[in-house]
Amino acid sequence: MEIGIFGATGPAGRGLAARLAAVGHDVVVGSRDPERAKGIVEELRKRWGDRVATLRAAHNEEAAACEIVVIAVAWEAAADTAAAHAEALAGKTVVSMANGLEKIRNEFRAVMPDEGSVALAVQAAAPAAHVTAAFHHVPAAVFADLDSEMEDDITVVGDDDGARATVIELVSSIPGVRAFDGGSLNNSVGLEAFAAVLLTANLRHHGRGSVALRGIEP
């Protein structure tokens, strides 16, 4: 697949870009500053060599033209980024992966936009896009460490059946990852809110645990 990533210069987007390129997808590392995106691609190629040969740097406008577009910017900017590219995203499969969070002392707390979740806010900002939500419970460092195989279960939600199936297929292409259908985009509220619980547990137990679903198969 050809995947454009808004915010691939940040930790989560950069890690996901490297992981998807390593399994053979064409990945456009998008940024408002193409030179910054170019620097990230050079950094990843220096570290991983031909394993990320399908990465290329571009402006966000070029990333928006891809088959699938991932919004990996900070959660506060996700809806505004979607709105800025709403016309280009019309009819596209879009993945929202941000969690609204604030850190208070030694815990994280969920911060939900007025729409109910970041993904729902993205859908409101780009109403003609097929918005899905995924990747919320995987630490950026896990995506980024290509020498370690992932062992994660990722739930995908979205209102459009075709878009949800496409993202499930994309998730399933990553070795060690199982993808599950979590229903409509309304369920992004639960996915995003639980990230605060998971990150707090990781913080207090000094780990980087993720979510595993037991008793069901993809």
Residue with tokens 């031909």, as numbered in its chain? 50
33 by DSSP, 3-state: which? coil
Q: What is the pLDDT of residue 218?
A: 87
Which residues share a beta bridge with 96?
Answer: 71, 133
CATH code that applies to domain 2-205: 3.40.50.720
Which residues, at least 6 apart from 19, have a Cβ–Cβ distance to it below 8 Å? 143, 144, 146, 150, 174
DSSP state of 55: E
Contact (CB, 8 A) for 132 and 164: yes
> String of b and e for 2-36 (b: at least 16 CB within 10 Å)?
ebbbbbbbbebbbbbbbbbbbeebebbbbbeebee
Closest to 188 (Cα-Cα) out of 93, 128, 118? 118
How confident is the model over 22-33, as pLDDT tens digits?
Answer: 999 999 999 889
How confident is the model over 136-193, as pLDDT tens digits?
Answer: 999 888 999 999 999 999 999 999 999 999 999 999 999 999 999 999 999 999 999 9
